[in-house]
Amino acid sequence: MRITTALRGRIQQLLASLHPPSPPTAREGQQLLNVLQGSFQKQLDEKHPHPLRPKAGPHDKHHVAIARESVSSHATTNYFASLLSHPVISTTSDPSLVGPDAVASFERLLATSKLNTATLQPLMTSYTRTRKSGDLKNTTTLLGDRLDVWLQSTNTSIRENFLLDKSCLLAATAMLLSEKNEAVLWKWLRMVYERDMVKADLADRRWLVVEDQLVSATMQLSLRRKDVEDAAQHFVQACQYRIDSGRSQTRSSDSPPSMPLSAKPLASSIIYYRHGHGIPSDLFTKVLNFLLPWSYIPSGPEYSRAFCALYDPTKPTAHLLAHFLSIQDLAQLLIDRQAKASPTSRKTIMTAILDASKLALEHGHKKEASLLLDYAIDHYPDFLPPREATEVGEQLEVSFSFTPG
């Protein structure tokens, strides 16, 4: 079939309408590009105006037109460049800050002299999160070991800035706990203990917080192994050393050295295990002496001597707890804290209060037993039914039926 000249012309016109040919000259091509970019920029300005660019007034049209014409050839390029440079999608960020390459990232930061608390904290947090997800189970090199080598070899100023940075030290201890890296925790604690204890340090409570945080971390590793006795030993030794070294305000058991970060996990475990905590009597007595009678923030009254004394292996007592709960202001502190606690924590403390009521009844203190029972029923209505029996013993049997075994 032969294509006539007229048909060929129509086909060429159709193709040209579907796929317009490129401009014949570079100048025409640049003009077309400027028009397209200018139009695109105008739409962007209308939909997403620049936050720092003032709105054009009625007499500014001429100046705006000139400015737009002068930058139209670069508008689109600049806009996309600003998007790509945003930190959220920046391609220059180091992707190896997350996952198995955290140690390599640490080495690169060290080699480029960019290793500091600001760069370390997100790296350690990402590394810890990845370990908890189980993606680093087969990793042989631990970031905690590498961090310890750097910390031991760096100068005193950098080392102390690292330890005194609360957020950074918290991220570091969480990382070491995820690694179960007890050796490094003890190294750092020894490093704190071996500092030159000049008089200025005695008044600098920041170092007492660092010490408390590291002691708490070593205790948490023991508690994860369900070795409550070992954790109790750590706590007693740390409190005694603080007194012996002169860094505590008092030597009286009525005002023991305040180590709330360490007291909380130990007291929590004692209350959780109840009479099955496994701490020998002599050691338990020392633990009670170093716990505050009724703690405030940050540990809270539920992690105090008043609760732990319920589970003394040889001489348990509910008198201290009944005394504090009979004082409205102190009782309110526990109410406020329990209102924010998890259901598991609330049920644990409720069970302890019922244990206290039963203990007081066994010791012949019916008034204390009734006060403690009423407190539990009044403030844990989501777990316990209303009181119906007139006898404390009968109501306790009903209430205990709603507690975990």
Q: Which pLDDT value is given to residue 93?
A: 38
pLDDT of residue 139: 56
Q: Which pLDDT tens digits describe the chain residue by residue (405 residues)?
A: 556 666 666 666 666 665 555 555 666 666 766 776 777 667 766 666 654 444 444 444 444 444 444 444 455 555 544 544 443 433 333 444 444 578 888 888 888 888 888 889 999 998 888 887 766 555 567 899 999 999 999 988 899 999 999 999 999 999 999 999 999 999 999 999 887 544 445 557 888 899 999 999 999 999 999 999 999 999 999 999 988 887 775 544 455 677 889 999 999 999 999 999 999 999 999 999 999 888 665 567 888 899 999 999 999 999 999 999 999 888 888 999 999 999 999 999 999 999 999 999 999 999 999 999 999 999 999 999 888 877 888 888 888 887 765
Q: What is the pLDDT of residue 100?
A: 52
* Confidence (pLDDT) at 14: 63
CB contact at 8 A, 304 and 350: no
**Torsional sign, CA 318, 320, 322, 325:** negative
pLDDT, position 275: 94
pLDDT at residue 72, rounded to an integer? 45
For residue 269, CA distances in Å to 128, 222, 225, 258, 317 come to 24, 11, 12, 19, 18
Distance CA 267, CA 288 (A): 10
Residue 184's pLDDT is 95
pLDDT at residue number 281: 96
Cα–Cα distances in Å, from 93 out to 88, 97, 125, 171, 173?
Answer: 9, 9, 16, 21, 25
How high is the pLDDT of residue 316? 97
Place of tokens 């049209």: 61
The H or E element spanning position 77 is helix 61-84
Asked if residues 331 and 325 have their Cβ atoms less than 8 Å apart, the reply is: yes
Contact 354, 373 (CB under 8 A): yes
Q: In this predicted structure, what is the pLDDT of residue 168?
A: 94
Give the pLDDT of residue 71: 45
Considering Cα of 143, then 149, then 152, then 155, what sign does the dihedral take?
A: negative
The domain ranges of the chain are: 5-84, 317-405
Instruction: Give pLDDT, residue 97.
Output: 45
Query: What pLDDT is recorded for position 176?
Result: 95
Return the pLDDT at 259.
87
pLDDT at 132: 79
What's the gap between Cα 170 and its chain centre? 8
